């Protein structure tokens, strides 16, 4: 066939990688530029066609979405008891079944949430009780420690009072007491210079008699 006004460009690579080219009267660069220009125009045309097709699909989709929205709004009004005067018996029964099913699901979910809340409260109560028991235990231990600390000084005081030094206590016009290993012996005297010896054979040193 004969191609009128056709421009041909041929690019060939040999098996050894050598380049061979052929072009008609126009140069190779002009033919390639013309090819790229027409290819870009064709791509733009295809993109325009796809956009127009998409816009056409959107135009067809819009009424369908509007009808769905109207149905959903009507159902919502029916669920709250509005616009039900025009419904037939079968439609009312179907609406009642849907509401009963929804109520059952709501009750089940409510009971589940209540049980979960009760379980959480019980866990918190148990944790608080354990913490309270620990605090009570610490308070008791601290009280025992304080009691022991308070009892130790009194015990030391009792020990010191029950074990006095073995020095005689003198009193004018009173009695003389001397603690020995066997017990306490007393020397009674009347007036100055008058001494009554004790019942036992214990004697007083001479220097002490001069001070009575």
Cα 96 to Cα 104: distance, rounded to the nearest angstrom? 12
Q: Which of 39, 7, 37, 43 is nearest to 22 (CA)?
A: 7
DSSP letters spanning 183-200:
EEEEEEE-SSS-EEPPSS
Q: What is the pLDDT of residue 207?
A: 54
**195-196 and 183-189 strand pairing:** antiparallel
Q: Would you state the pLDDT for residue 183? A: 43
Q: Are strands 9-13 and 183-189 parallel, antiparallel or unpaired?
A: unpaired
pTM: 0.38
Phi-psi region of 170 (alpha: psi -120 to 50; beta: other; left: phi over 0): beta
Q: What is the pLDDT of residue 68?
A: 86
Which pair of tokens denotes residue 94? Answer: 């179907």
Over the range 21-45, which residues count as b (16 or more CB within 10 Å of their CB) and which as e?
eebeeeeeeebeeeeeeeeeeeeee
Tell me the chain's radius of gyration from C-alpha atoms.
61
pLDDT tens digits for range 42-86: 777 777 767 677 766 777 787 888 888 888 898 888 888 888 888
Bridge-partner residues for 184, per DSSP?
179
Low-confidence ranges of the chain (pLDDT < 70): 1-5, 25-26, 49, 51, 55-56, 153-212
């Amino acid at each position: 066939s004969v191609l009128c006004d056709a421009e041909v460009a041929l690019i060939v690579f040999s098996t050894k990688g050598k380049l061979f080219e052929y072009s008609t009267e126009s140069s190779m660069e002009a033919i390639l530029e013309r090819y790229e220009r027409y290819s870009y125009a064709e791509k733009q045309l295809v993109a325009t066609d796809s956009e127009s097709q998409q816009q056409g699909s959107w135009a067809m989709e819009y009424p369908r979405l509007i009808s769905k929205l109207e149905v959903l709004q009507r159902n919502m009004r029916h669920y709250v008891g509005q616009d039900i005067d025009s419904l037939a018996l079968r439609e009312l029964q179907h609406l009642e079944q849907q509401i009963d099913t929804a109520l059952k699901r709501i009750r089940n979910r409510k009971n589940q949430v209540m049980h979960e809340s009760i379980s959480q409260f019980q866990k918190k109560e148990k944790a608080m009780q354990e913490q309270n028991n620990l605090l009570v235990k610490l308070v008791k231990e601290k009280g025992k420690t304080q009691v022991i600390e308070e009892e130790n000084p009194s015990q030391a005081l009792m020990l010191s009072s029950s074990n006095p030094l073995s020095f005689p206590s003198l009193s004018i016009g009173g009695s003389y007491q001397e603690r020995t290993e066997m017990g306490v012996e007393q020397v009674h005297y009347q007036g100055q210079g008058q001494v009554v010896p004790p019942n036992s054979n214990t004697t007083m040193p001479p220097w002490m008699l001069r001070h009575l």
